[in-house]
Amino acid sequence: RSNVKIAPSLLSSDFADLKNEIEKVTHAGADWLHVDVMDGNFVPNLTLGMPIVKAMKPHAKIPLDVHLMIEKPERYIEQFIAAGSDYLTLHVESTDVLEESLKKIKSLGAKAGITLRPKTSLESIKPYLHLVDLVLVMTVEPGFGGQSFMSEQVQKIKDLKNWREENSANYLIEVDGGIAAGTAQTCIAAGADVLVAGSAVFKGEKTVENYRQNIQALK
């Protein structure tokens, strides 16, 4: 068993029963809770915003890992952190003020993350890697749960691991999209520190025992 962290993506949970879903995955051994924020603009889907993060926070005993898939996220940084985000991750393609925004996240006391679409090159985020606590590698096109893992993205995990060593950086490497038992193993071998998984964690019976089995299968 690896010591990779598992961050269940609540996108695949029952939104009408969010409080219980949070408590169940936490008891089942989740390390973080991954929250997918979509604006129907940066990605073709709409999910949730700051009020829901705020409502979740009192029930969350583990870190809230908030993945912003919204245009101009700088408009909402303060509000997402006030709502209780522990990690706040921004897409390089979504803003013209990335460096300033990452610094703002850190100055407000949260951890700053950066991410990129599958088609975006790693080169485009290299100037920011010394600023961030987390790098999220997308292994699906952002927007929906339940898509298939893009194995050609695995090289980015390896490159990020090497870059971190060569440059004495200390971000965590997180992978998001299409994670299931087999693809989890591939990502762990490539150097992933945190795995996001939606459908693979929330599939089947809505019980702590089932979620625990699903999480253990990924580890």
Residues with a known catalytic role: 36, 176
Binding partner of residue 26 among Zn ion, ligand DX5, none, CB cut-off 5 to 8 Å per kind: none
* Residue 31 token pair: 């390390």
Under rule CB under 5 A, residue 176 binds Zn ion: yes
68: amino acid identity, one letter: L
- Distance of closest approach, residue 166 Cβ to ligand DX5, in angstroms: 28
Binding residues vs ligand DX5 (CB under 6 A):
9, 11-12, 34, 36, 67, 140, 142-147, 176-179, 196-200
With respect to ligand DX5, which residue has the nearer C-beta, 113 or 145?
145
Output the CA angle 33-35-39, nearest 5 degrees.
180
**Pair 111, 87: CB distance under 8 Å:** yes
- Distance of closest approach, residue 111 Cβ to ligand DX5, in angstroms: 17
Strands 194-197 and 111-116: unpaired
Question: 102-141 mask for Zn ion (x: CB under 5 A)?
Answer: ----------------------------------------
109: amino acid identity, one letter: G
With respect to ligand DX5, which residue has the nearer C-beta, 32 or 171?
32
In this chain, which residue has its C-beta nearest to ligand DX5?
Answer: 198
- Distance of closest approach, residue 121 Cβ to ligand DX5, in angstroms: 19
The DSSP 8-state label assigned to residue 107 in this structure reads H
Near Zn ion by CB under 5 A: residue from 5, 67, 91, 156 = 67
Helices (H), the chain: 18-27, 50-56, 77-82, 98-107, 154-166, 181-190, 199-202, 208-218
- Distance of closest approach, residue 29 Cβ to ligand DX5, in angstroms: 17
* Residue 127 token pair: 């100037």
Alpha carbons 110 and 33: distance in angstroms, whole number: 15
The contact set with Zn ion (CB under 5 A) reads 36, 67, 176
